[in-house]
Amino acid sequence: MTKTTNIDDIGKREELEESLELRQRLAELGTSFTTQRQAAAEAEEFHKYKALFDNITDLAYIFDTKGNILYVNKAFEKLTGHSVDEFTGKPFAPLYGASNLEKANSFYTATLNGACPQFELTFCDTGLICEYKSQPIIDKKGVVVGAMGIARDITEQRQTEQALRDSEDRYRSLFLESRDVVFISSPAGRFEEVNPAGLELFGYDTKEEFIAIDIDKDLYDAPETRAAFMREMDRYGFVKDFEVYLKHSSGERIIVSITANTVHDHNGRVIAYRGILRDMTGYKQLEQQLIQAQKMEAVGKLTGGIAHDFNNILTTVMGYAGLMQMKIEKDDPLMSNLEHILSATERAKKLTQGLLAFSRKQIMELKPVNLNSLVTEFEDLLSKVIPEDIEFKVQLSEGSLVALAESVQIEQVLMNLITNAKDAMPGGGVLSVCIEDIDVDKGFIKRKGFGTVGGYACLSVSDTGEGMDKAIIDKIFEPFFTTKDVGKGTGLGLAIVYGIVKQHNGYIDVKSAPGRGTTFKVYLPTVDMVVEESEDSHEEVVLKRGSETVLIAEDNDELRALTRESLEGCGYTVIEAEDGLQAIERFKEYKDSISLLIFDVIMPRLNGKESFDEIKKIAPGVKVIFTSGYTEDILDKKLVREEGVNFISKPVSPRELLIRIRETLDGKLAMNG
Ligand code: ADP
Ligand code: MG
């Protein structure tokens, strides 16, 4: 059909040849003819490809030069969430949304300018990410008439990559932020990888510095330890909680626990060690302290128990001997025997008191004590103990330091430490006592392995004597541990010091080395209190008789009988009770005649304090003296720590008791229950 028309046109050619205008038209028709033919061919080809393109999963597209979509294949629908018809002939811009549009435009422009870019874009409605390969469409004249390309869905790939990156980030921060050291080292003995905790623990500024160190030489304290570590590794392929001493860059020793495993290549050859190091230095120190404390606690319980029972026996011996002494004539031939008994009981009393002090079963009367004044007042007495060839130096703290303490006991601590210091310097030397204000903070606790945060007075006693080795230091606080000759040392001095310090909620620390002298440091918690000056007079008290009625509550028959005898011997009338309940009954019976109660603190059925509280309800102003040799856990510790409680500790001599009774009855002591 078309061809016939064309032949007709050619037939007319000669007629029209003369006219330029016509010639021109002919030319146009000729062109139109070729264009149409070409278009038809192209259309045919296009449909062939269209069918092909519609069946692929990647997106195929053709855009014109104005940003309109001329063609997209079926994949378009799945990727963008829109139908092909909806977008054919329309601009592509809405597909990308604001966040991607700029990028889309720039690549589109680049393509129109002749480039073949490869890029990634996200469709705004589906969130799917595609990777594009774009190229310009160039016609025969070399003019760009559009852009076309292929886009592949890479969403899943990108998500996997992101997940991988996230997970890597997580493990990286685990590595970077771990407080334990995480490392990789080589069989050649170098570190390949270490986290910041490692640099901090070993004291290196940069990873490069750390990687440069020779593990054998710079890290291990002893070659045997590294050899033992390697043996374990070779044998089992791993170590768990393997404890070793390693060196800090400063040379200081640190204890670490290693958990690590070997890494092999395909041939089973060890290519690396990977693992974790934990700093155990502080922990080990604490553990050591705990073991020591537990040991002391056990020994303390044992000695405390013995001392308590022995105390009661001693009180009886001492009491009856004392009574006898009061009764017999001064020139009686038995008097000297009696004096021997009494002086022996006096020594035994000191011993049991020492043991009780160590076992912390002693009852204390805590009062604010100014430590500077305590040392100053004690200095005179101390300098008498110290031989001429020892230089004695005292350095007080600048401000006054007040601790809640029993001054006699702190004096005892000083005396025991100074006696030891003196004994350690048989050839003379320097002995210094120093009081300092110390602020115990977390750093202190970490360094020393003991303490609780707060203000402390540090009382130190140093000597330039023979010093001690570690084996001795480990034992010095145990009761009866002594290195001194028989008759010279009892081994109780430091045990007593330890007990007293613990009972004051304090700490004791010792530094010593053979030939290098010794320093003991006693830390006592300080309080913000003012010390009242007391005007004790030490004059000899004359024993006065009395005529009042006294109620004695004491479960130990012998002690009760002894007290009765001593009191009756001095003119008092005695009513006895065997326990707290009976004491209340007896009081009710005789309340009009009873002037004073002497109550043992620990008794069956009802303890002294409880019994006294009941009696106080009947007679609020009643006077009381509590006696005890021992604090039990059931005992209300406040009772005896409260200031003003009239308390006397066993063993007590009849004389002491009689003096205290008179003082109480005459109102010399401002006491209450
Ligand atoms: P004792 O003095 O009766 O031996 P201690 O409990 O006071 O008992 O002391 C126990 C041991 O501790 C002493 O025997 C001595 O070995 C050692 N020791 C104590 N203090 C010092 C010191 N300042 N210098 C050297 N060794 C000391
Ligand atoms: Mg001693």
Task: Give the residue-averaged pLDDT of 356-369.
Answer: 71
pLDDT band at 12 (very low <50, low <70, confident <90, very high): very low
Q: Which two tokens stand for residue 239?
A: 């170590």
From 420, 430, 472, 473, give the residue whose CB has the most ligand 1 atoms within 8 Å, as the site to mutate: 420
CA 344 – ligand 1 centroid, Å: 25
Q: Are strands 181-185 and 191-194 parallel, antiparallel or unpaired?
A: antiparallel
Name every protein residue with a CB atom under 6 angstroms from any ligand 1 atom.
416, 420-421, 424, 463, 465-468, 472, 476, 481-484, 489-495, 518
User: What are the phi and psi torsion angles at 8 (to 5°)?
Assistant: -60, -45
Nearest CA to ligand 1 atom 13: 482
pLDDT at 29: 54
pLDDT in tens, 412-440: 899 889 989 999 999 999 999 999 999 99
CA of 469, nearest ligand number: 1
Please report which ligand is nearest the Cα atom of 481. Answer: 1
Residues 406, 17: Cα–Cα separation, whole Å: 140
360 alpha carbon – ligand 2 mean position (Å): 18
- For residues 315 and 651, the answer to whether their CB atoms sit within 8 Å is yes
For residue 621, the model assigns a pLDDT of 84
Per-residue pLDDT at 115 exceeds 80? yes
Q: Which of 476, 477, 498, 509 to mutate to test the pocket of ligand 1 (most atoms within 8 A of CB)?
A: 476
Ligand nearest, relative to CA of residue 491 = 1
Give pTM, 2 decimals: 0.51
| Token pair of 496 as six digits | 């007593």
**Which 3-state string (H, E, C) describes 198-223?**
HHHHHCCCCHHHHHCCCHHHHHECCH
| d(CA 491, ligand 1 centre) in Å | 7
DSSP symbol at 435: E
Confidence of residue 224 (pLDDT cuts 50, 70, 90): confident
pLDDT of residue 237: 93
Examine the pLDDT at 609 and tell me if it is beyond 80.
yes
Q: What is the pLDDT of residue 362?
A: 60
Which residue lies with its CA nearest to atom 4 of ligand 1? 482
Separation of CA 442 and ligand 2 centre (Å)? 33
Please give the pLDDT value at position 537.
45
pLDDT digits over 451-461, tens only? 889 999 999 99
**Count of residues making up the chain:** 673
Q: Which atom of ligand 1 is nearest to the CA of 492?
A: 6
* Residue of the CA atom closest to atom 19 of ligand 1: 420
Q: What is the 3-state secondary structure (H, E, C) of 318-361?
A: HHHHHHHHHHCCCCCCCHHHHHHHHHHHHHHHHHHHHHHHHCCC
Q: In sequence order, which residues have a C-beta less than 8 Å from that of residue 352 and are 6 or more positions away? A: 307, 310, 311, 314, 651
Kindly give the number of the ligand 1 atom that is closest to the alpha carbon of 493: 7
pLDDT for 238-280, tens place per residue?
999 999 999 999 888 899 999 999 999 999 999 999 999 999 9
> Residue 30: pLDDT band by 50, 70, 90 thresholds?
low
Residue 361: is its pLDDT beyond 70? no
**Residue to mutate, 474, 494, 498, 511, ligand 1, most ligand atoms under 8 Å from C-beta:** 494
* Mean of pLDDT values over 311-335: 86
Distance 413 CA to ligand 2 centre (A): 10
The atom of ligand 1 lying closest to the CA of 479 is 6
CA–CA–CA angle 31, 34, 35 (5° rounding): 85
Main-chain phi, psi angles of 49, to 5 degrees: -70, -35
Return the residue whose CA atom lies nearest to atom 14 of ligand 1.
Answer: 482
Contact 615, 599 (CB under 8 A): no
Ligand 1: atom nearest CA of 416 is: 7
| Residue whose CA is at the smallest distance from ligand 1 atom 16 | 483
**Rounded Cα distance, 362 and 632, in Å:** 10
pLDDT band at 670 (very low <50, low <70, confident <90, very high): very low
CA of 483 to the centre of ligand 1 (A): 7
